Amino acid sequence: MPRVKRGVIHLKKRRKLLAATKGYRWGRKNRIKLARPAMLKAGAYAFRDRRAKKRTFRALWLIQINAACRELGLSYSVFAKKLKDAKVEVDRKILSQIAREQPATFAALFKKVNV
Instruction: Quote the domain boundaries for residue 104.
Output: 8-113
pLDDT tens digits, residue range 51-91?
A: 999 999 999 999 999 999 999 999 999 999 999 999 999 99
The predicted pLDDT at position 4 comes to 83
CB atoms closer than 10 angstroms to residue 63: 12
H/E element holding 15? helix 7-20
Return the percentage of the chain with pLDDT > 70, whole number: 100
pLDDT at 115 over 80: no
Residue 1 domain-assigned (yes or no): no
Residue 25 domain-assigned (yes or no): yes
pLDDT at 23 over 90: yes
| Cα–Cα dist 106/67, whole Å | 12
Residue 57 domain-assigned (yes or no): yes
Per the structure, the count of domains in the chain is 1
User: What CATH number is given to the structural domain containing 93?
Assistant: 1.10.1900.20
The predicted pLDDT at position 62 comes to 97
Residue 21 domain-assigned (yes or no): yes
Q: How many residues does the chain have?
A: 115
H/E element holding 46? helix 32-71
The predicted pLDDT at position 30 comes to 96
State the average pLDDT for the chain: 95
Tell me the chain's radius of gyration from C-alpha atoms.
26
